[in-house]
């Protein structure tokens, strides 16, 4: 159970910013929260200026009243530490707190997140504020969980100011110990970059030409660590005051700047913010599913919390479509279906002023009783109450995608043969499994892979010997690996591995790659499987492969390398390793992946019509089968031998059931 104080209820509520409203509105807020079944609200995220209006003055009275009011109404609080946006007095007095971009521009006060992660002054003031909050609210009956800061690095993914430069040097000294080691790792013999003093080193800001790639990669690692230090600083304070209150910070899914995997052990549970674009519903459900899977995989043995989503439209895309009726519910239950124990929103009441006034809220600008969105919120709240029994149950998958933030950072640095969108490629492969209702986790290549049958490694460009060894021994012991083009090209220093790529996977794959042909937009090639009559289109990238034991499943049919392998398979130990040397069209990918899952004998929990999502959550004494109809047509679902009660309607479901458009069924199944 992630929230002992909510007992077995799914967390339901949203960001609550009462400081934006007169106190007379608060009474109405809690009345409507109760009406909607809200049991948790996130308070204080952007309230630093209200809590500390000047350097020496703190004003907690209003927050005391908010928390007391919520407690009196049995509404729990996810208490934010308010450090996400330093108040204007702080940055006016200590401008060194402000972050500096790679171009040397100091980002001014007036929006939010205006601090450098390495600012000593910011750290001092943030610690003082958090210490006061922790002491004051440690025993407050409304306190359910702590919410540290907010979406770290979202707007300021890096800083090049003086504090950052100083901290970067200290980080490098600690990592390398000597300049000789640093010069070696950074390959500074190239272009006369050898460093003789630590003070000669700067963050990789604007330079005349490509900056040193290892320096850039280290800067990304350093920046991740700098943000993590901020989190740790607050965490230590909270732990001292409230060792039993769970702590989180809200992640952002496929967010490049932070290696969330390095954070996950410090969070009591993973929470994240999901904002798929309603203008393309099928892309939205794929994106949300991949996000839930990535986030859940960071702590696979605990449910996660959807900390923020929009009740309808957001305000920050060029065009912001609302969610049409039913979609908010469907997406909320999708989060639960994929392992979520909380369905939260940004925000409770849509703001009247400021940059987010056109962002939907659970309460819109119109009266609650006149609001379509609020009616849907209320309906969802009452349904979630019936789903409390699923809390604590887990999603268990047999397929994993190897996904590594360091590989992501490295492959997208400049000066590469072509452009690879690492996360998009991983999500494209995920989408195939999603469409088949085959559950997927995301793992680090060094992870214990014993629970998986199949591991897919998309463009795992940076791969060290140890992690390559881990993937190879997974195959040796009977697993199936599918690696794709541009994998295993560099080690962790971003130095090319000589002697044929993908260096540390060569044995398992039974091949080596000599060179590659990246294509510009609009250029493509074709490839053909075995004796198939039709061929398939491929684009973006072609690896020129030499077989060394593997068998070609498909070959390119065009360009100067026609006849060379486009997809291969190799027996290795007790397992098999596939290689995909290009980016195929949908049909070509389908041929290959269908063969792979047939060999691995993977099947979805239930065969359903396209557009219906099926997942299973497992508890000690039951299984929960989720069926979500994402289409605009009713779906006929043959349950076969599966029978069980729908937790939402209470009906016993068996035989063939009709699932209306946008509708969801959650069946409790007895354990087999």
Residue numbers annotated as active site:
151, 308
Nearer to ligand GAL, 327 or 407 (CB): 327
Closest listed residue to residue 631, CA positions, set 613, 605, 655, 614: 613
- Site map 523..552 versus ligand GAL, x via CB under 6 A: ------------------------------
If one asks whether residue 113 binds ligand GAL (CB under 6 A), the answer comes out as: no
Nearest-approach distance from CB 253 to ligand GAL, in angstroms: 11
Compute CA distances 355 → 255, 294, 359, whole Å: 22, 30, 9
Instruction: Tell me: does residue 150 bind ligand GAL (CB under 6 A).
Output: yes
44 binds ligand GAL (CB under 6 A): no
- DSSP lists the bridge partners of residue 656 as 638
**Is 273 a residue that touches ligand GAL (CB under 6 A)?**
yes
Q: What's the closest the beta carbon of residue 359 comes to ligand GAL, in angstroms?
A: 5
Binding segment toward ligand GAL, per CB under 6 A, in 60-68, 148-156, 401-409, 636-644: 148-156
Stretch that binds ligand GAL, among 30-38, 150-158, 399-407, 429-437 (CB under 6 A): 150-158
For residue 398, give the nearest of 457, 479, 343 by alpha carbon: 479
Q: Which is nearer to ligand GAL, 268 or 356 (CB)?
A: 356
Convert 438-460 to b/e letters by CB count within 10 Å (16 or more is b). Answer: bbbbbbbbbbebeebbbbbbbbb
**DSSP assignment of 94-142, as one string?**
-GGGS-B-TTSPBPPSSSS--S-TT-HHHHHHHHHHHHHHHHHHTT-TT
Residue 219 or 345: the one with the smaller Cβ distance to ligand GAL is 345
153-172: contacts with ligand GAL (CB under 6 A): 154
CB of 209 to ligand GAL, least distance (A): 35
> Which of the stretches 149-157, 260-268, 383-391, 591-599 binds ligand GAL when contact is defined by CB under 6 A?
149-157
Identify which range of 146-154, 189-197, 418-426, 522-530 contacts ligand GAL by CB under 6 A.
146-154
Please identify, using beta-carbon distances, which residue of 151 and 613 lies nearer to ligand GAL.
151
147 belongs to the binding site for ligand GAL (CB under 6 A): no
**Which helix (H) or strand (E) element contains residue 11?**
strand 11-16
Dihedral in degrees, nearest 10, Cα atoms 27, 28, 33, 36: 150
Q: Which is nearer to ligand GAL, 150 or 364 (CB)?
A: 150
Query: Which of 32, 185, 298, 314: binder of ligand GAL (CB under 6 A)?
Result: 314
**Count of residues that interact with ligand GAL, criterion CB under 6 A:** 10
Q: What is 188-248 written as a DSSP string?
A: TTGGG---SSGGG-----S-SSPPPHHHHHHHHHHHHHHHHHHHHHHHHHHHHH-TTS-EE
* Footprint of ligand GAL on 45-104 (CB under 6 A): none
> Is residue 275 at the binding interface for ligand GAL, with CB under 6 A as the rule?
yes
Going across the sheet that includes 340-345, the strands are: 247-248, 143-147, 76-80, 40-43, 11-16, 340-345, 304-308, 271-273, 250-251
CA-only gyration radius of the chain, Å: 26
The secondary structure of 337-376 as a DSSP string is HTTEEEEEES-SB--SSSTTTTS--SB-SS-GGG-HHHHH
Q: Smaller CB distance to ligand GAL: residue 80 or 217?
A: 80
Q: Which position's Cβ is nearest ligand GAL?
A: 346
Q: Helices H, strands E: what count in the chain?
A: 17, 27
Binding residue for ligand GAL, selected from 231, 255, 346, 405, defined by CB under 6 A: 346
For residue 150, the minimal CB distance to ligand GAL (Å) is 5
Query: In the complex with ligand GAL, which residue's Cβ is closer, 320 or 557?
Result: 320
Encoded tokens for 282: 């099928």
Asked whether 202 and 172 are in contact (CB, 8 A), the reply is no
270 close to 304: Cβ distance less than 8 angstroms: yes
From the list 359, 406, 444, 570, which residue makes contact with ligand GAL (rule: CB under 6 A)? 359
The binding site for ligand GAL (CB under 6 A) comprises: 150-151, 154, 273, 275, 308, 314, 346, 356, 359
């Amino acid at each position: 159970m992630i929230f002992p104080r909510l007992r077995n209820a799914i967390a339901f509520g949203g960001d609550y910013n009462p400081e934006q409203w007169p106190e007379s509105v608060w009474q109405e807020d809690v009345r409507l929260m109760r009406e909607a079944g809200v049991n948790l609200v996130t308070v204080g995220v952007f309230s630093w200026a209200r809590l500390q209006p000047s350097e020496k003055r703190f004003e907690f009275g209003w927050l005391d009243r908010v928390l007391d009011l919520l407690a009196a109404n049995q509404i729990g609080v996810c208490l934010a530490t308010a450090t996400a946006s330093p108040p204007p007095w702080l940055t006016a007095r200590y401008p060194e707190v402000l972050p500096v971009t790679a171009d040397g521009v100091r980002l001014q006060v007036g929006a939010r997140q205006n601090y450098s992660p390495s600012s000593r002054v910011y750290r001092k003031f943030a610690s003082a504020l958090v210490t006061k909050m922790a002491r004051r609210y440690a025993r407050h009956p409304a306190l359910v969980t702590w919410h540290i800061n907010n979406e770290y690095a979202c707007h300021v993914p890096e800083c090049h100011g003086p504090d950052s430069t100083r901290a970067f040097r200290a980080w490098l000294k600690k990592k390398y110990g000597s300049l000789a080691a640093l010069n070696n790792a950074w390959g500074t013999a190239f272009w006369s970059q050898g460093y003789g003093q630590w003070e000669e080193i700067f963050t990789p800001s604007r330079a005349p030409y490509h900056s040193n790639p290892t320096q850039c990669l280290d800067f990304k690692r350093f920046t991740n660590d700098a943000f993590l230090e901020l989190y740790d600083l607050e965490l230590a304070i909270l732990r001292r005051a409230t060792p039993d209150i769970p702590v989180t910070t809200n992640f952002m899914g496929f967010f490049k700047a932070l290696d969330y995997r390095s954070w996950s052990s410090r969070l009591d549970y993973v929470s994240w913010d999901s904002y798929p674009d309603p203008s393309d519903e099928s892309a939205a459900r794929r994106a949300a599913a991949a996000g839930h899977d990535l986030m859940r995989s960071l702590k696979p043995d605990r449910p996660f919390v959807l900390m923020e989503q929009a009740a309808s439209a957001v305000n920050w895309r060029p065009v912001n479509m609302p969610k049409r009726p039913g979609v908010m519910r469907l997406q909320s239950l999708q989060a639960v279906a994929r392992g979520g124990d909380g369905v939260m929103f940004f925000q409770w009441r849509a703001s009247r002023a400021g940059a987010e006034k056109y962002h939907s809220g659970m309460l819109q600008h119109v009266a609650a009783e006149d609001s379509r969105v609020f009616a849907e919120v209320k309906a969802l709240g009452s349904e979630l109450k019936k789903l409390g029994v699923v809390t604590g149950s887990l999603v268990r998958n047999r397929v994993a995608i190897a996904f590594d933030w360091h590989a992501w950072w490295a492959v997208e640095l400049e000066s590469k043969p072509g452009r690879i969108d690492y996360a998009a490629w991983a999500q494209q492969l995920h989408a195939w499994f999603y469409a088949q209702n085959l559950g997927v986790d995301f793992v680090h290549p060094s992870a214990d892979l014993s629970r998986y049958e199949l591991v897919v490694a998309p463009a795992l460009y940076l791969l060290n010997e140890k992690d390559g060894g881990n993937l190879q021994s997974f195959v040796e012991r009977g697993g199936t690996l599918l690696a794709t083009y541009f994998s295993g090209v560099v080690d962790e220093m971003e130095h090319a591995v000589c002697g044929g790529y993908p260096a540390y996977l060569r044995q398992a794959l039974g091949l080596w790659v000599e060179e590659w042909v990246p294509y510009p937009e609009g250029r493509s090639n074709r490839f053909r499987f075995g004796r198939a009559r039709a061929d398939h289109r491929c684009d973006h990238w072609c690896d020129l492969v030499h077989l060394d034991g593997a068998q070609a499943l498909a070959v390119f049919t065009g360009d100067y390398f026609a006849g060379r392998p486009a997809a291969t398979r190799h027996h290795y130990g007790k397992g098999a390793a596939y290689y995909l040397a290009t980016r195929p069209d949908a049909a070509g990918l389908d041929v290959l992946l269908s063969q792979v899952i047939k060999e691995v004998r993977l099947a979805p929990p239930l065969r359903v019509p396209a557009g219906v999502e099926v997942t299973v959550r497992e508890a000690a004494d039951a299984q929960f089968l989720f069926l979500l109809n994402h289409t605009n047509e009713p779906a006929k679902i043959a349950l076969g031998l599966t029978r069980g009660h729908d937790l939402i309607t209470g009906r016993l479901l068996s035989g063939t059931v009709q699932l209306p458009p946008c509708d969801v069924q959650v069946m409790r199944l007895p354990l087999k």
